[in-house]
């Protein structure tokens, strides 16, 4: 019987950043591991930030997830019981999380198509929304430390947008919760095989 590794059972919260700049793409347009490989995103010292930059979204509630779903076209023939050819025809990737800190930057991430404005330093911070025809995209980075306390996972969506918008709520008996779904667009300037996101497991904490 093969040995199991309990340390690989992952139970841990995630921290998220939105905005910033995607990690540098590799130099081979057909292979992100060839030539000069695409750069891994990393957490900075003491997990204070991520090297892709952006704004920390603060407290979340419930699971933060990265989901990838490919679609395949499958060919069946009379001479076999199973499919004999399958080719990928589409793929989608997204990150979902629920914000609990109601700052204007978090609301702007949820609303997606808004335009932010800061007035008088920090006197007023707001979002204008309506009839913006250009899709606003941003980097979304998720960091989750390994249960052992050493090492972490980091997932980075290169070009994501809020596909379901968001809600602002005010209620006396319950904290406001802003559910967000960030869906990927393919970044065609990156190598084939590295145009949606990357997910990296580091075995050591950031220096």
Q: What pLDDT is attached to residue 122?
A: 78
Can you state the percent helix, strand and coil of the chain, rounding each to 5?
A: 5, 35, 55
Q: What pLDDT is attached to residue 7?
A: 86
Which token pair is 183?
A: 């869906």
Q: What pLDDT is attached to residue 1?
A: 87
What is the signed CA dihedral for 26, 31, 35, 38, rounded to 10 degrees? 30
Over the chain (207 residues), what is each successive 10-residue block's mean pLDDT? 90 97 98 98 98 97 98 97 98 98 94 93 90 95 96 98 96 96 98 98 96
Q: What is the pTM of this model?
A: 0.94
Kind plus residue range of the DSSP H or E element containing 109: helix 104-111
First to last CA, the chain: 37
The string of pLDDT tens digits covering residues 80-114 is 999 999 999 999 999 999 999 999 999 999 999 99
- Per cent of the chain over pLDDT 90 is 94
Q: What pLDDT is attached to residue 126?
A: 93
Q: What pLDDT is attached to residue 123?
A: 85
Class of residue 92 by CB neighbours under 10 A (exposed 0-12, middle 13-18, buried 19+)? middle
């Amino acid at each position: 019987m093969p040995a199991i590794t309990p340390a690989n059972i992952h139970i841990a919260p995630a921290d998220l950043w939105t905005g910033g700049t995607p990690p540098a793409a590799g130099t081979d347009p057909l292979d992100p591991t060839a030539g000069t490989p695409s750069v891994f995103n990393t957490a900075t010292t003491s997990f204070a930030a991520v090297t892709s930059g952006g704004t920390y979204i603060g407290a979340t509630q419930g699971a933060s997830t990265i989901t990838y779903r490919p679609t395949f076209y499958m060919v069946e023939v009379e001479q076999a019981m199973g499919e004999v050819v399958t080719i990928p025809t589409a793929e989608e990737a997204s990150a979902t999380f629920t914000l609990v800190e109601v700052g204007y930057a978090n609301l702007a991430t949820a609303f997606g198509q808004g335009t932010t404005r800061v007035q008088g330093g920090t006197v007023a911070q707001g979002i204008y929304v309506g009839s913006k025809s250009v899709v606003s995209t941003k980097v979304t980075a998720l960091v989750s430390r390994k249960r052992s306390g050493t090492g972490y996972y980091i997932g980075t969506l290169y070009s994501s947008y809020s596909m379901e918008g968001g809600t602002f709520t005010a209620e006396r008996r319950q904290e406001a919760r802003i559910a967000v779904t960030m869906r990927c667009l393919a970044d065609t300037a990156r190598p084939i095989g590295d145009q949606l996101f990357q997910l990296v497991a580091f075995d050591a904490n950031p220096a």
